[in-house]
Amino acid sequence: METGRLPLFCFFVALIAAFVFTRINVRLIRARIGWFRNVSIGEMHIHHVVFGVVLTMLGGVAGLVVSGVSQGWYAVTAAVFGVGAALVLDEFALILHLHDVYWEEEGRTSVDAVFIAIAITGLLLLGLRPLGWEESDGTVYGTWATAGLIVANLVLAVVTLLKGKIWTGLVGLFVPVLLIFGAFRLARPGSPWAHWFYAPGSRRPAPRKLARAEVREERWRRPVIRAKIAFQEFVSGRHDLPSTRLRSRR
């Protein structure tokens, strides 16, 4: 409360609690256990992202109204916003693909989105500031130095993300030293950067870099990705349905 982060803390707790509750609920629905069933009106299935949109609107607008009135009520509205955000992000893949891919391979995107939201909120709770932002000392030099640092970190973050290093880029927004390693090391195969600068047919093809990137991907990244997927599916359930994208190609 002394740091003024109580609303952010309430958002953080509500986001995690609502995500865990939602995943337990949908797994029980999938297993047809007890009275747990999808919400439907006639033949129309109402996805929980609909309730999430309503709650984020209520929590966001109410928070704007009470933010300067009561810290307690502001924290309550932040919690409502967190519940809504969890419901929306849990079906992020549906919004992205405009198709229900909840239990398909593409549905893991939703879990990634929730994990990213939790990680960024946690870093903000710890008092870290994105892009190395700090208050300038009020002098012209201080202002330009602060602006230059922010722009430099932003450029490094964009390069890191284009190289396919999502977690390095996002965490690097708060720990800028990571962006140096992310931006100057090899890109991941399949990333936009590799497509533009490594692959055959690009402006400046670099087959050796592409080969090294593929070796590193297989040796170091694949085991980490498998461990991440195992943890995600322990928390959120197995995404084991055949991909509709592959079925449509067949």
pLDDT tens, position by position, 65-81: 998 888 899 999 999 99
Instruction: Assess if residue 121 is contained within a domain.
Output: yes
Q: Would you say residue 99 lies in a domain?
A: yes
| Cα separation, 85 vs 49, whole angstroms | 9
List Cβ neighbours of 19 (8 Å cut-off, separation of 6 or more).
Answer: 86, 89, 90, 114, 118
- Pick the residue with more confidence: 244 or 121? 121
The residue among 170, 171, 17 whose CA lies nearest residue 86 is 17
- 33, 118: one domain: yes
Nearest alpha carbon to residue 129 among 165, 153, 148, 113: 153
Helix (H) or strand (E) run with residue 78 in it: helix 71-89
**What digits encode the pLDDT tens for the residues 17-31?**
999 999 999 998 888
pLDDT at 2 over 80: no
| Number of domains observed in the structure of the chain | 2
What's the domain range around 19?
6-127
Last residue of a domain, one of 111, 127, 143: 127
- 120 and 35 in a common domain: yes
Domain final residue, candidates 127, 155, 186: 127
The rounded percent of the chain whose pLDDT value lies above 70 is 94
Q: Mind listing the pLDDT tens digit for each residue in 98-113? A: 888 988 888 889 999 9
Tell me the average pLDDT of the chain. Answer: 88
In terms of domains, do 196 and 168 share one?
A: yes
What pLDDT score does 22 carry?
Answer: 94
What are the residues facing 241 on neighbouring strands?
A: 104
**Between residues 146 and 236, the one the model is more confident about:** 236
Same domain, 10 and 123: yes
Chain segment 127-153, per-residue pLDDT in tens? 888 876 665 556 777 777 778 888 899
Q: What is the pTM of this model?
A: 0.81
Model confidence pLDDT, tens digit, residues 223-234: 988 998 899 889
165 in the same domain as 67: no
Confidence (pLDDT) at 136: 55
Half-sphere exposure of 1 (CA within 13 A, CB side): 5
Is 209 inside a domain boundary? yes
* Length of the chain counted residue by residue: 250
Q: Are residues 109 and 58 in the same domain?
A: yes
DSSP bridge pairs for 41: 44
**Token digits of residue 243:** 């991909």
Of 127, 152, 186, the one marking the end of a domain is 127
**pLDDT score of 48 more than 70:** yes
